[in-house]
Structure 1
Amino acid sequence: MSPRSDEPRRDPTGSRRGSARDAGPADGEPRTGEPGIGGISGARAYTPRGRTVREERGTPARGQGAEQRRTPRSTRSGDPFRPALQVLDGGRAAARSGRRDAPAAGRGAVVRTVAPRTPRGPAGDEPPPRRRTTPRAPRRADRPAARRPTRKPRRPPKLADSRLRLRLGTVLALTLFAVIGIRLIFLQAVDAPAYAGGGVIDRTRTVELPAPRGAIYDSTGAPLARSVEARYVYADPTKVEDPGGTAKALSPLLGIPVSKLMELMKPRKLENGIASTFAYLARGVEIPTAKRVQALELPGIGVHRDERRDVPGGDLAANLIGFTSQDMDGLEGLEARYDDVLAGQDGKRVYEAGLGDLGAPIPGGYSQTTPAKPGSSLALTIVRDLQFRTQQILSAGMAKAPGGTGAAVVMEIPSGAVLAQASNPTYDAAKPLPSDPVAREDAATSFVVDPGSVHKAITYGAALQEGVITPDTTFPVANAIKKGDTWFPDTHPADGKRMSVPGMLAYSSNVGAITVADRLGRDRLIDYQKRFGLGKPTGEGMPGEASGRLLPADEWSESSAGSVPIGHSVDATPLQMTAAYAAIANNGTYVQPHLVKEVIGPDGKRTPAPAPVTRSVLSPQNAAALRTMLEAVTTVDRATGLAAAVPGYRVAGKTGTGWRLVNGKKQPGEVSSFIGMAPAENPRYVIAVFVYAPNGGGAAVAGPAFRDMMQFTLRHYRVPPSADGSAPKFVVYPH
């Protein structure tokens, strides 16, 4: 923009445009203060956007002349410096010009400008003013300048009502707070347990604290079975990177074939469709071996604390002890029978822990520990050394009867405690699988047989007690006797000669025993069978003990009168027959056989086992008389039990030959037995040996086995030999 000239602007007609202020100056006034001519006064009066407030106040009413409504062009000029000049001048020029609306001299005043009217649009608004084309007449100097009427600036369109917006915002805020409050109430009062439970499940960890299983000791405190700390090796199939290489690395350490390990590590899904992340590879691994597995650092392979059942003796008393599962649950033998005593109560630790890499316990978080309660231990009546020797002797004898079954029981008098109880075949309880289930059975309590002639001691004992016979009784004995349609012969024919009762026992006369039973009667014989403990389990402590069976009186046939007195048509176990002979050795008092001596609690407190059941069967005098008669079996010439005699000791006992029945069917071969006691004058021990030999020859095993077992037992306990010359002299065929 070019600088403004001091000369006033002229219109095209050549006349000077302006208002009355364009007239010549008053007398003596300089021209520099006149508006419209230029200079500082013109700059002060100039507003770039329209009329000044001063001009607004002096605007004439509608209807005045056009000249009066016109605003000097100088006032509508676009000079941008005019407002600043007005402020600097403070209105002094206006005061000099004589205007009434000028601010006082010397006082700074700010002149507010008013924006020009915005032209209205075509929709009913006023059209913009037309540009004048005719020249305006010069304004008279004696008339004030006409000013354009002022209009209020157009208000902007009303976009929204602030009060409505405030109300709407308040309602929305209150609604939001109400919804949040109701939700908080539900979370705190209604849904709190569910969310709290879910949170606890996510945060808490549970660690099982295994309870050690109780041990099994012999009567001297030597361990027969015990639990030792071990490790188990497991795999997470989802993390195993190289199954083949992993299996090859673990196979020599765990002793498991590579193919089996690969099968165990094979990915599989659970019933819920989730991939399994755990699989046992080996249980009961020794700690040094587990450390070697850990050192391999195989992906997906881990080691954790475990428990292993240690059986130091291997097959020692294996048929009695039994074994446990890998989870320490008793499966057979005493381990199963007393599982509730031996098994402890596992404890656990529940605590809060972080997730992911922060899976450590949270300090100060929830933590509760339930200590594990170790199981109690069992102290048996078994003597380890005696058990070992009994098993050894029985095993050597059974080698002569291949395919057979043997049982041996050593019982202490007068306590009824079982000092040894052996079975053959047997197995290694430390490695029970694989093994034949038959080999794991305890033959003494599960082997049901027709006892044969060892039952005759019960028949003679009942006859003595009932007064049917005396030790001096004799009567003629035929070579055979018929009952019903069955003949019962003797192996040592008497040819009808008179025979003593000791002679009948020495030669195991069937005819003599049946004759005595006829005098005793069926009912009294059955009654004494029950008193001696036949027909029901002894309750020794072994699980699955057979009860045997007595023939009820209403089932007797004519032949039963011949078979029952000699031990046929009677089902019994070796242990039942041992207990019956123990009653004879114990002065006629039956004592329940038992294996458990005491229970040892985790705190070391010892609780004796319940007292065994006792009852009187024979009088001491009759029991002593019967023992004396039974000595004839091991002393009389050509007696059946000479092979069972123990040098230096008086032995009273009886041989037997019976059968084995399976599901009511007689099995091939025979069951040979010998049950005896020593020293006969004051018995300390009763030993029974039963041998089932499918091919026969069991008698050659039973007698010698008894002899060796009794000899070892007497020496082990340092029992003094019998006095010389104390053995009685028996007459088989008195004149």
Structure 2
Amino acid sequence: MPPRSDEPRRDPTGSRRGSSRGAEPREPGVGGISDARAYTPRGRTIREGGAEQRRTPRSSRSGDPFRPALQVVDGGRATRAGRREPATAGESGRAGRRTAGGRAGVVRTVSTRPVHEPFDDEDDPPPRRRPGPRRPAARRPVRKPRRPPRLGDPRRRLRLATVLALTLFASIGVRLVYLQMADSPAYADGGLPNRIAVVELPAPRGAILDRTGEPLAHSVEARYVFADPTRVKDRFATARALSPLLGVPASELADRMRRSKRPGTDIDLQFVYLARGVEIGTAKQIMALDLAGIGTHRDERREVPGGDLAANMIGFVSQDMNGLEGLEAKYDDVLRGQAGKRTYEVGLGDLAAPIPGGYSSTTQPKPGSSLQLTIDRDLQFMTQRILAKQVAQAKGSVAAAVILDVPTGEVLAQASQPTYDAADPAKVNSPADRDDAATSFVVDPGSIHKAITYGAALQEGVITPDTTFPVANTVVLGGVPFEDTHHANGRVMSIPGMLAFSSNIATIEIADKLGKDRLIDYQKRFGLGQPTGEGLPGEASGRLLPADEWSGSSYGSVPIGHSVDATPLQMAAAYNAIANNGTYVQPHLVKETIGPDGKGTPSAAPATRSVLSPANAADLRRMLEAVTTVDGPDGRATGLAAAVPGYRVAGKTGTGLRYDNGKKQPGEVGSFIGMAPAEKPRYVVAVFVWSPGGEGGAVAAPAFREMMGFTLRHYRVPPSLTDKSPKFEVFPR
């Protein structure tokens, strides 16, 4: 602090400041610090001010909000309570002289220690004085009155707040529009897999029809039962309720309804099949139970109207309508069609229903095509009935029958015994009962093979219809003896007589003149050693003994139909070539394919080739008639039981062996293959019967007679003219 001056400070009037010593007495209220403190900023004492406030009405007592500013303008200081602070003595004097601009008659008191309020910042602190002689106080310059503070405009604040709010809402709106228009597919797709349900729309399977358009197998409307595992509340209770209606064990149904994920994803599986092909009435009962997570939808079921009619040939399908055997399996891609699919959004929990306006996509199913076969349903039925009746005489037997249309090679009937109900394929004694014996039954054809040997010899000029030579009773080749059942005892026999009595020795001698190479060549021309390509899956090809594998005994066994593997269908096709003037026609089952639009597409034309000349084929047919007609003092032909009254029949009996997986089976295979009318054949019928006891020979010929007789009557073939039937002499003189 600067040193205090010994001379008291004086105000402009000459009076000393800060001390009352040595001063003249003053009137109360004039001068003096204590007196100044007793006055209010407006020159009133506190008591006077209080009294005046009490006298002033309350309405006028509230101060003017701008009063502190006005007091500053008047020369005083604004206090915290809005009162004016007293000015200094100098300022009071100046204020007295400024009565014209201030308030007249107001005595301003001076405080020795100015009171600084928080808002009193207009005066800077006085500078510190340096030690030295004190100079008279200079007169302060007169300050310009300060302008009152500028107050805020509420309208501007309102405008600013409005602009900020609108900007905020505009930003939110722009973001919402962007999410809805630009990013909405991405956000929607992100949760879409959890809401997607997929329902398969099965495609109707094509029918299998006979040659007249009658159904052998077709699909009918049904229902399938499905479950949504995410909605099933109690899978065990649900399974117990469904088991009696579906015929499926409850444990299996409960296992199907267990929650699981879609393969390769973390998404819950929402669709599983519980049963297929359920009858519509049963489906209604299931829906009446109102089980959570259980539903039904349109499906189909395969029906076979004939039960076992052509079952071994047609085959059957699975519950999913996939072909498993027979024609159903061979032509599965044609019959099955393409299933459709419906994909849609569903809600979650109790709202598991399609969402209106949600994602939905439907691929319509494409029905499968139908197959029209060459089979005649009525003829097939009678063929199966006759075969079953005849085979009943030979227990434990396996039999096959084939009926061919000669000019076209179409299969009119193809029966197997035993058979089964294609509508319930599980009810069989053995899976082999479902096999088609005509294409899978591999046998040593036996004597029916002799027609091939004689046909090759005729075509190659080794023999003629008039050829005769002496026939011995036995011959030994490679250490193996061969003999005849009808002993000729060295007598001269005719070619028809050799066929009528089925002479092994005569056939071996003719084959020896023909040679093994040419015999093998004709075997192939007649269709042996390779599948016919009829149309059934799993058709056996048979086997021919190559020339380099022949042994000494092969020269005796091969010509008479041993050491040769063939199927009934292959042998029937070989005889059909003889009946068709020497032209081989590939046997076939499928006539045409009918698309969903009803338009038919014929099957490819069957393969054909010439084997015999028409003349040689006619001569061979005439010689084969001896098998069903020769009956005299020299003996009876082997095929008299196959004769059809009123018709000329050419054919041949056979006794062969059966092989299963390369192993010879006990018993024998009896067979008969023939054609009628022999003068101009229309149909070929082949019958093969294997029995462990060897009774097949006694069954095959009678079965042929009944089948051929019905076929000729069914197609109204006129009877033959008996007066033109040939007369045969077995032992010409």
TM-score (normalizing by structure 1): 0.76
Q: Are residues 98 and 473 of structure 1, via their aligned partners in 2, closer, same or farther at CA, if it must alter by over 3 Å?
A: closer
Q: Are residues 258 and 367 of structure 1, via their aligned partners in 2, closer, same or farther at CA, if it must alter by over 3 Å?
A: closer
Q: Are residues 242 and 66 of structure 1, via their aligned partners in 2, closer, same or farther at CA, if it must alter by over 3 Å?
A: closer
The within-5 A match list for 1:607-646 is: 607-637=601-631, 638-646=636-644
Corresponding residue number in structure 2 for 1:308: 301
> SS where residue 336 of structure 1 aligns?
helix
The within-5 A match list for 1:373-452 is: 373-435=366-428, 436-452=430-446
Deviation at 1:234, TM superposition (A): 2.8
Match status 1:371 vs 2:364: yes
| CA distance in 2 between partners of 1:382 and 1:456 (Å) | 29
Deviation at 1:530, TM superposition (A): 0.9
> SS where residue 367 of structure 2 aligns?
coil
| CA distance in 2 between partners of 1:406 and 1:578 (Å) | 14
Deviation at 1:616, TM superposition (A): 1.0
Corresponding residue number in structure 2 for 1:334: 327
Q: Are residues 103 and 643 of structure 1, via their aligned partners in 2, closer, same or farther at CA, if it must alter by over 3 Å?
A: farther
Q: 1:606 aligns with which of 575, 593, 600?
A: 600
- The answer to whether the 8 A contact 1:231-1:306 is kept is yes
Q: Are residues 721 and 666 of structure 1, via their aligned partners in 2, closer, same or farther at CA, if it must alter by over 3 Å?
A: same
| CA distance in 2 between partners of 1:251 and 1:299 (Å) | 16
Corresponding residue number in structure 2 for 1:17: 29
Q: 2:89 aligns with which of 68, 74, 88?
A: 68
Deviation at 1:401, TM superposition (A): 2.3
| CA distance in 2 between partners of 1:415 and 1:58 (Å) | 134
- The answer to whether the 8 A contact 1:54-1:101 is kept is no
Deviation at 1:235, TM superposition (A): 3.5
TM-score (normalizing by structure 2): 0.76
Corresponding residue number in structure 2 for 1:495: 489
| CA distance in 2 between partners of 1:35 and 1:301 (Å) | 100
Deviation at 1:613, TM superposition (A): 0.8
- The answer to whether the 8 A contact 2:447-2:653 is kept is yes
Q: Are residues 521 and 297 of structure 1, via their aligned partners in 2, closer, same or farther at CA, if it must alter by over 3 Å?
A: same
- The answer to whether the 8 A contact 1:323-1:333 is kept is yes
Q: 1:284 aligns with which of 268, 277, 282?
A: 277
Corresponding residue number in structure 1 for 2:102: 102
Corresponding residue number in structure 1 for 2:699: 701
- The answer to whether the 8 A contact 1:50-1:116 is kept is no
Instruction: Name the aligned partner's letter for residue 102 of structure 1.
Output: G
| CA distance in 1 between partners of 2:77 and 2:279 (Å) | 116
Q: Are residues 270 and 211 of structure 1, via their aligned partners in 2, closer, same or farther at CA, if it must alter by over 3 Å?
A: closer
- The answer to whether the 8 A contact 1:353-1:362 is kept is no
| CA distance in 2 between partners of 1:280 and 1:578 (Å) | 46
Deviation at 1:116, TM superposition (A): 4.9
Instruction: Name the aligned partner's letter for residue 472 of structure 2.
Output: A
Corresponding residue number in structure 2 for 1:160: none
| CA distance in 2 between partners of 1:414 and 1:455 (Å) | 22
Q: Are residues 507 and 531 of structure 1, via their aligned partners in 2, closer, same or farther at CA, if it must alter by over 3 Å?
A: same
Q: Are residues 15 and 103 of structure 1, via their aligned partners in 2, closer, same or farther at CA, if it must alter by over 3 Å?
A: closer
| CA distance in 1 between partners of 2:199 and 2:238 (Å) | 28
Deviation at 1:67, TM superposition (A): 8.4
| CA distance in 2 between partners of 1:368 and 1:234 (Å) | 20
Corresponding residue number in structure 2 for 1:591: 585
Of residues 240-249 and 582-591 in structure 1, the stretch that sits farther from structure 2 once superposed is 240-249
Q: Are residues 34 and 486 of structure 1, via their aligned partners in 2, closer, same or farther at CA, if it must alter by over 3 Å?
A: closer
Corresponding residue number in structure 2 for 1:77: none
| CA distance in 1 between partners of 2:343 and 2:238 (Å) | 34
Q: 2:227 aligns with which of 232, 235, 239?
A: 235
Deviation at 1:246, TM superposition (A): 3.8
Corresponding residue number in structure 1 for 2:133: none
| CA distance in 2 between partners of 1:205 and 1:34 (Å) | 94
Q: Are residues 118 and 331 of structure 1, via their aligned partners in 2, closer, same or farther at CA, if it must alter by over 3 Å?
A: same
Corresponding residue number in structure 2 for 1:653: 651
Deviation at 1:373, TM superposition (A): 2.0
Identity of aligned residues (%): 65
| CA distance in 1 between partners of 2:391 and 2:605 (Å) | 35
Corresponding residue number in structure 1 for 2:685: 687
Corresponding residue number in structure 2 for 1:251: 243
Of residues 718-727 and 637-646 in structure 1, the stretch that sits farther from structure 2 once superposed is 718-727
Q: 2:314 aligns with which of 321, 326, 347?
A: 321
> SS where residue 296 of structure 2 aligns?
strand
Q: Are residues 100 and 280 of structure 1, via their aligned partners in 2, closer, same or farther at CA, if it must alter by over 3 Å?
A: same
Corresponding residue number in structure 1 for 2:116: 117
- The answer to whether the 8 A contact 1:224-1:312 is kept is yes
Instruction: Name the aligned partner's letter for residue 413 of structure 2.
Output: A
Of residues 531-540 and 394-403 in structure 1, the stretch that sits farther from structure 2 once superposed is 394-403
Instruction: Name the aligned partner's letter for residue 214 of structure 1.
Output: G
Deviation at 1:348, TM superposition (A): 3.6
- The answer to whether the 8 A contact 2:74-2:102 is kept is no
Instruction: Name the aligned partner's letter for residue 387 of structure 1.
Output: Q
| CA distance in 1 between partners of 2:347 and 2:253 (Å) | 34
| Structure 1 alignment gaps of length 5 or more | 1-12, 24-32, 60-64, 73-93, 106-114, 128-145, 153-172
How large is the Cα RMSD of the aligned pairs? 4.2
Corresponding residue number in structure 2 for 1:84: none
Q: 2:532 aligns with which of 534, 538, 550?
A: 538
Corresponding residue number in structure 2 for 1:461: 455
- The answer to whether the 8 A contact 2:657-2:664 is kept is yes
| CA distance in 1 between partners of 2:482 and 2:447 (Å) | 13
Deviation at 1:99, TM superposition (A): 2.3
- The answer to whether the 8 A contact 1:49-1:116 is kept is no
Corresponding residue number in structure 1 for 2:110: none
> SS where residue 581 of structure 1 aligns?
helix
Instruction: Name the aligned partner's letter for residue 610 of structure 1.
Output: A
Corresponding residue number in structure 2 for 1:550: 544
Q: Are residues 358 and 103 of structure 1, via their aligned partners in 2, closer, same or farther at CA, if it must alter by over 3 Å?
A: farther
Q: Are residues 116 and 333 of structure 1, via their aligned partners in 2, closer, same or farther at CA, if it must alter by over 3 Å?
A: farther
Deviation at 1:450, TM superposition (A): 0.7
Deviation at 1:579, TM superposition (A): 0.3
Deviation at 1:241, TM superposition (A): 4.5
| CA distance in 1 between partners of 2:610 and 2:242 (Å) | 64
> SS where residue 724 of structure 2 aligns?
coil
When the two structures are aligned, how many residues end up with a matched partner?
625
Q: Are residues 730 and 203 of structure 1, via their aligned partners in 2, closer, same or farther at CA, if it must alter by over 3 Å?
A: same
Instruction: Name the aligned partner's letter for residue 715 of structure 1.
Output: R
Instruction: Name the aligned partner's letter for residue 17 of structure 1.
Output: G
Q: 1:296 aligns with which of 289, 298, 310?
A: 289
| CA distance in 2 between partners of 1:248 and 1:358 (Å) | 23
| CA distance in 2 between partners of 1:474 and 1:99 (Å) | 178
> SS where residue 722 of structure 2 aligns?
coil
| CA distance in 2 between partners of 1:451 and 1:688 (Å) | 12
Could you give the per-residue CA deviations for residues 254-273 of structure 1, whole angstroms, max 9, x where no partner exists?
Answer: 23345554555566777778
Corresponding residue number in structure 2 for 1:472: 466
Deviation at 1:118, TM superposition (A): 3.4
Q: Are residues 504 and 50 of structure 1, via their aligned partners in 2, closer, same or farther at CA, if it must alter by over 3 Å?
A: closer
Corresponding residue number in structure 1 for 2:672: 674
Q: 1:516 aligns with which of 494, 510, 517?
A: 510
Deviation at 1:390, TM superposition (A): 0.7
Deviation at 1:237, TM superposition (A): 4.8
The within-5 A match list for 1:69-218 is: 99-102=99-102, 116-118=115-117, 198=190, 201=193, 206-218=198-210
| CA distance in 2 between partners of 1:66 and 1:221 (Å) | 130
> SS where residue 329 of structure 1 aligns?
coil
> SS where residue 547 of structure 1 aligns?
coil
Deviation at 1:441, TM superposition (A): 1.1
Match status 1:568 vs 2:562: yes
Instruction: Name the aligned partner's letter for residue 68 of structure 1.
Output: A
Corresponding residue number in structure 2 for 1:56: 75
Deviation at 1:305, TM superposition (A): 2.1
> SS where residue 660 of structure 1 aligns?
strand
> SS where residue 423 of structure 1 aligns?
strand
Q: Are residues 240 and 203 of structure 1, via their aligned partners in 2, closer, same or farther at CA, if it must alter by over 3 Å?
A: closer
Deviation at 1:16, TM superposition (A): 2.6
| CA distance in 2 between partners of 1:40 and 1:50 (Å) | 23
Deviation at 1:336, TM superposition (A): 1.2
